[in-house]
């Protein structure tokens, strides 16, 4: 379509409810739209409503439940509602971080889907004035027996590495899981962490009427149109045809954009700024307008779309507004800074154009070819979007596991070998070796060590951030309330285990179709469990993302509320690592063992069953144990620590042995099930190595924390009461062998 008159007629034609359905606007929402607008929308306006009212942008199914999260403590500077969360890390500095999903795009086009997920989360962070210092990813793929995971893993990992390595930000941590619950929908959750001075943080809010709107970055193309809508819908067979909705990234342009944006921010030219993420120019302009004004009352925006830099000819207003082309930002500048801004972006050879201005009308007004193609109030697009109270049903409770049904293993060594070579526990070296973990020169510890959390030095100081991501979806599927608590508590333990004070979390809530009451029940109870853990552990939520409709042909994923946690190490002279060290002597377990095998890795791998209730959590005991561990590390009494998670005590010790290339002998309990003792996944526990066990035991007693010696360090094998010996080097070879073997046939 090249005739301007015909294009305008097409764009401004009144739309009906059938067109609304084609755009994902359901009947009740159509009535709401028409009522709010006072008329039927034209095509451009309908497109804008469709993306802003999509699940991905509006959180219309989850918003009322997300309000249950605690979002403040003494360290929180900015909670949910901005591009990313901000916490005080002392010395006038702030950490800025967020986790976000790119699930649907990564399933359709693995390389670009994952790559642009990395690019998008980086923009959320540097948009706020932070220099990105670390990337983390949480990946979940289908069963290794399924035909798709190999190619999906290859594409996703290449995309993450290809983008992160080129943009020059280290990928320091993550998790990878294989399970049939993700056969139809993989999960690609990306997290970024950045640093900024507290007095130099930028927000989307803050724009006032009468200021120029500045478009910067790459030119707009037709890639990614309807990406937000696609991410808010279920899959069906043959959805590979949705590839055009997946964006195409350019990490080299992103690097230039980071430098140009930070330089312009330093000049004092920027009044407000917003990343062009999901829904592109639509969401960035609407969100900035909705939060603008002196008191957040909202402002208006006028934009001339002919001035938007475009890399394809003949783009219509509809395409320009809905494009999700990457490496783009929208800024509101101070009027006298336009030339300064243009000079900065010209230096980096990036597009930079004034495309409009802010007003006091509260309306979004768009023109093309000199004619108005959109004139709609901003408020209904943002805070007045649908906010459903979806019906939900209470998830069924699993009965506690009767461990007497399962005989004690004859050979604990064979059990250990099977667990450590299973897809769940096998080393993911094949993956993390493709990521640059040390660029920028401040990575102290990363996924390379198998440790509980990555540690990144704050440049030029002896202070560091600890970063982790975690979730056990089997726990959530069995009991979303306890599973939600467990996901938060695991992040808390991971940070505590390296000696970091846990400060706050970001989350990525991955679930199926919220319109199904059963699915909605899992969402509600998982949020409530997470919220309780956050309150009790003083570990608030400061940012996050909701990814729903992760279903294919009506089959949803395992409920997966992924948690990204950030903590502070005040002095790197006092932090802990996972690897055992010669001379440490004793292994001490911190926390009480109750022998819970329900939903355990042992039960799944050895018995071929996924049964029982997940382990319960005493949050008060969890907090006491974490506080004790951190104090012991800070005092220099403990330098080696690992939290007990999947696989239980024996797997934890095995990982410490492999990391330190030294053996250990593990003790058995005086009474009770030996399997439950060795492989139970009771929460709130750590294993520490020490040359002075009495000091540790006395400190634990004073802190009202259970503690017991569970083994001795030495030799080159792992054994149980001197028997069932497994060579550490053989175990390491087996542990590291599964992933390369699995990926050998990837295409």
Q: Quick check: 425 and 651 in contact, CB under 8 A? A: yes
Calpha distance 170→134 (Å, rounded): 5
Dump pLDDT digits (tens) for 520-530: 999 999 999 99
Phi, psi of 336 (to 5 degrees): -85, 10
Calpha distance 44→735 (Å, rounded): 55
3-state secondary structure of 304: strand
pLDDT surpassing 60 at residue 232: no
pLDDT surpassing 50 at residue 243: no
Q: Give the whole-number percent of the chain exceeding pLDDT 70.
A: 97
Dump pLDDT digits (tens) for 369-420: 999 999 999 999 987 889 999 999 999 989 999 988 888 999 999 999 999 9
Calpha distance 645→687 (Å, rounded): 11
Query: Which of 563, 560, 554, 494 shows the shortest CA–CA distance to 522?
Result: 560
- As a whole number of Å, the end-to-end CA separation of the chain is 39
Q: Give the whole-number percent of the chain exceeding pLDDT 90.
A: 90
Cα separations (Å) of 503 from 71, 240, 541, 542, 571?
A: 11, 41, 10, 10, 16
Half-sphere exposure of 59 (CA within 13 A, CB side): 17
In DSSP notation, 153-177 reads: HHHHHHHHHHHHHHHT--EEEEEEE
Calpha distance 567→481 (Å, rounded): 24
Residues 521-542 have a mean pLDDT of 98
Give the pair of three-digit tokens for residue 223: 């890639």
Residue 2 has a pLDDT of: 60
Calpha distance 83→637 (Å, rounded): 40
Dump pLDDT digits (tens) for 137-159: 999 999 999 999 999 999 999 99
Q: Quick check: 550 and 556 in contact, CB under 8 A? A: yes
Calpha distance 140→148 (Å, rounded): 12
Tokens 């509602």 identify what position?
81
pLDDT surpassing 60 at residue 237: no
Kind plus residue range of the DSSP H or E element containing 677: helix 674-679
| Residue 102 is among the residues annotated as catalytic for this protein | yes
Burial of 538: CB neighbours in 10 Å, binned 0-12, 13-18, 19+: middle
Average pLDDT value for the chain: 94
Kind plus residue range of the DSSP H or E element containing 590: strand 586-590
Residue 294 has a pLDDT of: 87
Residue 231 has a pLDDT of: 47
**How far is C-alpha 737 from the geometric centre of its chain's CA atoms?**
28
Query: Which of 1, 728, 91, 680 shows the shortest CA–CA distance to 401?
Result: 680
Give the pair of three-digit tokens for residue 237: 């067979």
Calpha distance 723→666 (Å, rounded): 10
Calpha distance 614→78 (Å, rounded): 34
| Residue 642 is among the residues annotated as catalytic for this protein | no
Residues 50-59 have a mean pLDDT of 92
List CB contacts of 147: < 8 A, sequence separation 6 or more. none
Calpha distance 207→299 (Å, rounded): 8
pLDDT surpassing 80 at residue 228: no
In DSSP notation, 641-673 reads: EEE--TTHHHHHHHHHHHHHT--EEEPPPSSS-
Dump pLDDT digits (tens) for 169-206: 999 999 999 999 999 999 999 999 999 999 999 998 88
Q: Quick check: 93 and 420 in contact, CB under 8 A? A: no
For 289-321, b/e burial (b = at least 16 CB within 10 A) is bbbbbeeeebbbbbbbbeebbbeeeebbbbbbb
The active-site residue, picked from 23, 56, 226, 357, is 56
Calpha distance 133→480 (Å, rounded): 33
Burial of 629: CB neighbours in 10 Å, binned 0-12, 13-18, 19+: buried
Phi/psi class of residue 745: alpha, beta or left (left: φ > 0; alpha: ψ in -120 to 50)? alpha
In DSSP notation, 1-32 reads: ---HHHHHHHHHSB--HHHHHHTT--HHHHHH
Q: Which long-range contacts (CB under 8 A, 24 or more apart) does 175-178 make?
A: 175/138, 175/139, 175/469, 175/470, 175/471, 176/139, 176/140, 176/141, 176/428, 176/431, 177/139, 177/140, 177/141, 177/424, 177/473, 178/140, 178/141, 178/142, 178/143, 178/144, 178/149, 178/423, 178/424
Tokens 């280290």 identify what position?
170
Residues 16-21 have a mean pLDDT of 96
Half-sphere exposure of 65 (CA within 13 A, CB side): 23
Cα separations (Å) of 129 from 211, 258, 291, 575, 628?
A: 20, 9, 18, 29, 36
Q: Quick check: 274 and 280 in contact, CB under 8 A? A: no
3-state secondary structure of 686: strand
Residue 384 has a pLDDT of: 84
The active-site residue, picked from 23, 65, 102, 357, is 102
**How far is C-alpha 40 from the geometric centre of its chain's CA atoms?**
38
Dump pLDDT digits (tens) for 485-499: 999 999 999 999 999
Banded model confidence at residue 230, pLDDT cuts 50, 70, 90: very low
In DSSP notation, 695-709 reads: HHHHHHHHTT--EEE
Residue 670 has a pLDDT of: 87
Residue 722 has a pLDDT of: 92
Query: Which of 412, 406, 472 shows the shortest CA–CA distance to 649?
Result: 412
Residues facing 356 on adjacent strands: 213, 303
Residue 214 has a pLDDT of: 97
Query: Is beta strand 640-643 parallel, antiparallel or unpaired with respect to 686-690?
Result: antiparallel
pLDDT surpassing 60 at residue 89: yes
Calpha distance 345→17 (Å, rounded): 43
pLDDT surpassing 60 at residue 245: no
Q: Quick check: 234 and 548 in contact, CB under 8 A? A: no
List CB contacts of 165: < 8 A, sequence separation 6 or more. 171, 251, 435, 436, 439
Cα separations (Å) of 366 from 35, 300, 632?
A: 21, 11, 61
pTM: 0.95
pLDDT surpassing 80 at residue 98: yes
Calpha distance 73→79 (Å, rounded): 10
Calpha distance 164→120 (Å, rounded): 11
Kind plus residue range of the DSSP H or E element containing 48: helix 43-52
Q: Quick check: 197 and 216 in contact, CB under 8 A? A: no
């Amino acid at each position: 379509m090249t005739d301007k008159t015909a294009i305008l007629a097409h764009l401004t034609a009144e739309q009906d409810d059938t067109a609304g359905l084609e755009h994902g606007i359901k009947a009740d929402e159509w009535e709401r739209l028409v009522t709010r607008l006072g008329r039927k929308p034209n095509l451009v306006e309908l497109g804008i409503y469709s993306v802003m009212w999509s699940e991905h942008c509006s959180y219309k199914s989850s918003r009322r439940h997300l309000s249950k999260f605690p979002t403040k403590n003494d360290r929180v500077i900015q909670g949910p509602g901005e591009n990313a969360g901000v916490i005080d890390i002392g010395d006038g500095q702030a950490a800025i971080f967020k986790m976000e999903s790119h699930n649907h795009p990564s399933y359709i086009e693995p390389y670009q889907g994952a790559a642009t997920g990395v690019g998008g989360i980086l923009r959320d962070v540097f948009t706020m004035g932070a220099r990105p210092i670390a990337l983390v990813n949480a990946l979940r793929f289908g069963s290794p027996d399924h035909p798709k995971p190999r190619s999906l893993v290859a594409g996703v990992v290449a995309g993450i590495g290809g983008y992160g390595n080129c943009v020059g930000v280290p990928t320091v941590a993550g998790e990878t899981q294989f399970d049939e619950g993700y056969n139809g929908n993989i999960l690609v959750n990306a997290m970024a962490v950045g640093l900024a001075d507290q007095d130099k943080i930028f927000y989307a809010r803050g724009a006032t009427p009468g200021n120029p709107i500045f478009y910067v970055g790459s030119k707009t193309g037709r890639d990614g149109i309807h990406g937000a809508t696609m991410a808010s819908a279920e899959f069906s067979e043959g959805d590979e045809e949705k590839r055009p909705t997946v964006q195409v990234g350019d990490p080299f342009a992103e690097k230039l954009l980071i430098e140009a944006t930070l330089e312009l921010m330093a000049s004092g030219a920027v009044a407000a700024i917003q990343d062009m993420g999901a829904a592109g120019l639509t969401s960035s302009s609407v969100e900035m307008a909705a939060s603008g004004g002196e008191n957040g009352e909202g402002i208006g925006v006028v934009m001339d779309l002919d001035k938007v830099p475009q890399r394809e000819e003949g783009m219509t207003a509809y395409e320009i507004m809905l494009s999700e082309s990457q490496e783009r930002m929208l800024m509101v500048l101070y009027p006298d800074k336009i030339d300064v801004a243009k000079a900065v972006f010209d230096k980096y050879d990036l597009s930079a154009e004034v495309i409009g201005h802010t007003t006091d009308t509260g309306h979004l007004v768009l023109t093309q070819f000199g004619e108005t193609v959109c004139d709609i109030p901003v408020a209904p697009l943002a805070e007045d979007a649908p906010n459903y109270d979806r019906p939900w049903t209470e998830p069924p409770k699993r009965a506690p596991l009767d461990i007497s049904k399962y005989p004690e293993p004859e050979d604990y060594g064979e059990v250990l070998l099977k667990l450590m070579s299973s897809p769940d526990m096998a080393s993911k070296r094949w993956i993390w070796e493709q990521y640059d973990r040390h660029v920028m020169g401040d990575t102290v510890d990363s996924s390379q060590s198998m440790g509980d959390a990555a540690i990144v030095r704050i440049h030029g100081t002896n202070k560091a951030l600890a970063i982790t991501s975690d979730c056990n979806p089997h726990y959530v599927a069995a009991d979303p309330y306890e599973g939600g608590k467990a996901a938060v508590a695991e992040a808390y333990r991971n940070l505590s285990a390296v000696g970091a004070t846990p400060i706050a979390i970001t989350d990525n809530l991955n679930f199926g179709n919220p319109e199904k009451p059963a699915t909605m029940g899992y969402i509600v109870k998982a949020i409530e469990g997470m919220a309780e853990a956050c309150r009790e552990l003083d570990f608030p939520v400061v940012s996050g993302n909701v990814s729903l409709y992760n279903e294919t042909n009506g089959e949803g994923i395992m409920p997966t509320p992924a948690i990204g946690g950030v903590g502070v190490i005040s002095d790197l002279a006092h932090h802990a690592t996972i690897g055992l060290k010669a001379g440490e002597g004793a292994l001490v377990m911190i926390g009480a063992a109750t022998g819970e095998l329900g939903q355990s890795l042992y039960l799944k791998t050895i018995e071929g069953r996924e049964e029982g209730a997940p382990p319960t959590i005493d949050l008060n005991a969890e907090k006491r144990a974490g506080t004790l561990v951190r104090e012991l590390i800070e005092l220099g009494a403990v330098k080696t620590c690992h939290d007990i998670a999947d696989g239980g005590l024996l797997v934890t010790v095995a990982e410490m042995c492999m990391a330190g290339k030294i053996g250990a002998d593990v003790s058995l309990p005086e009474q009770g099930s030996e399997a439950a003792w060795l492989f139970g996944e009771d929460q709130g526990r750590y294993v520490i190595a020490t040359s002075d066990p009495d000091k540790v035991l006395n400190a634990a007693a004073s802190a009202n924390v259970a503690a017991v010696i569970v083994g001795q360090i030495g030799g080159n094998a792992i054994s149980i009461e001197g028997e069932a010996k497994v060579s550490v080097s053989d175990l390491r070879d087996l542990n590291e062998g599964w992933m390369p073997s699995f990926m050998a046939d990837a295409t």
